[in-house]
């Protein structure tokens, strides 16, 4: 059964906190371990998981995620692998969305992908290089199979553009905290708070902030104004630096607990 994104945000809101969203590529470092890692993240406090679809030309990703994606591809990860990982983590109780560039989905078949994602228990898709104007096929397929369409807004987005993007969105809106590629940063982009405020002014959807969050302190900072906190590269780096499988699981679990503490630091009545 699909565990909808809205339900995960509602649960977090009922506890007076932001939702914690964690990213990891499917098949990284291999299929079985990626499932164990994602499940460990959820067990340790992650509310929604972004299951990354490995792609050979990840232009919007920094070196940490690129390295992980290359490992997943070398291990044989495909779009079918992604669907299977979603199925396994959803069966374990996770709310899962897919993060992917558009080209692999278009090649796989838009309607075929939406159908497979629904059957696997997936809840949504984030495609950072897909614009609303080019999303007619995806919008139709996502609506047919009850898959959330999660689009991105950025600090450079005008108010008119934000209003247009959220009109096509469902589930939540992904607010990129800064311009540039993914990666761990020493601080969250200063424009993030204003971007969330401008976005929330034109939609009732939850707004989650990603790009650059890696510590409990940064998570708490973002949780003060956003409905969700997205962490990707920091989880990937913990796996890359771990000396073995058990150490990798322990490392992502530790980070998830730290971040979960951070989003709860801004708990509201």
Q: What is the DSSP string of the chain?
A: ----HHHHHHHHHHTTSPEEEEEEETTSS-HHHHHHHHHHHHHTT-SEEEEE---S--TTS-HHHHHHHHHHHHTT--HHHHHHHHHHHHHTT-EEEEE--HHHHHHH-HHHHHHHHHHHT--EEE-TT--GGG-HHHHHHHHHTT-EEE-EE-TT--HHHHHHHHHH--S-EEEESSSS-----SS--TTHHHHHHHHHTS--S-EEEESS--SHHHHHHHHTT-SEEEE-HHHHHHHHH-SSHHHHHHHHHHHHHHHHHHHHTT---
Point out the catalytic residue in the list 47, 57, 61, 159.
61
61 is catalytic: yes
57 among known catalytic residues = no
Task: Give the start-to-end residue ranges of the domains of the chain.
Answer: 5-264
For the residues 147-176, what does the mean pLDDT come to?
Answer: 96
Q: pLDDT (tens digit, 9 = 90+) per residue, 46-89?
A: 999 999 999 988 777 888 999 999 999 999 999 999 999 999 99
Going by pLDDT thresholds of 50, 70 and 90, the confidence category of residue 28 is very high
What fold is seen in the domain 5-264?
A: TIM Barrel (3.20.20)
pLDDT band at 181 (very low <50, low <70, confident <90, very high): very low
The active-site residue, picked from 30, 43, 50, 106, is 50
Confidence of residue 39 (pLDDT cuts 50, 70, 90): very high
């Amino acid at each position: 059964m699909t565990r909808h994104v809205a339900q995960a945000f509602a649960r977090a809101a009922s506890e007076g906190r932001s939702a914690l969203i964690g990213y990891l590529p499917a098949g990284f470092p291999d299929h079985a371990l990626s499932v164990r890692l994602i499940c460990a993240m959820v067990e340790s406090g992650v509310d929604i998981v972004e299951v990354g679809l490995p792609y050979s030309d990840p232009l919007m990703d920094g070196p940490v995620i690129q390295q992980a994606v290359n490992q997943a591809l070398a291990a044989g990860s495909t779009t079918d692998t992604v669907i299977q990982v979603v199925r396994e983590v959803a069966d374990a109780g996770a709310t899962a969305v897919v993060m992917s560039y558009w080209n692999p989905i278009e090649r796989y078949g838009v309607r075929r992908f939406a159908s497979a994602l629904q059957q696997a228990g997936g809840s949504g898709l984030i495609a950072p290089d897909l614009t609303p104007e080019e999303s007619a096929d995806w919008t139709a397929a996502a609506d047919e199979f009850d898959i959330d369409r999660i689009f991105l807004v950025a600090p450079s987005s005008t108010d008119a553009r934000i209003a247009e993007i959220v009109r096509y969105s469902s589930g939540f809106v992904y607010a990129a905290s800064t311009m540039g590629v993914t990666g761990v940063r020493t601080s969250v982009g200063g424009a993030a708070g204003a971007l969330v405020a401008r976005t929330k002014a034109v939609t009732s959807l939850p707004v989650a902030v990603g790009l650059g969050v890696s510590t409990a302190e940064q998570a708490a900072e973002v949780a003060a104004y956003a409905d969700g906190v997205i962490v990707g590269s920091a989880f990937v780096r913990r796996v890359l630096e771990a000396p073995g499988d058990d150490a990798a699981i322990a490392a992502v679990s530790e980070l998830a607990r730290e971040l979960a503490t951070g989003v709860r630091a801004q708990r509201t009545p």
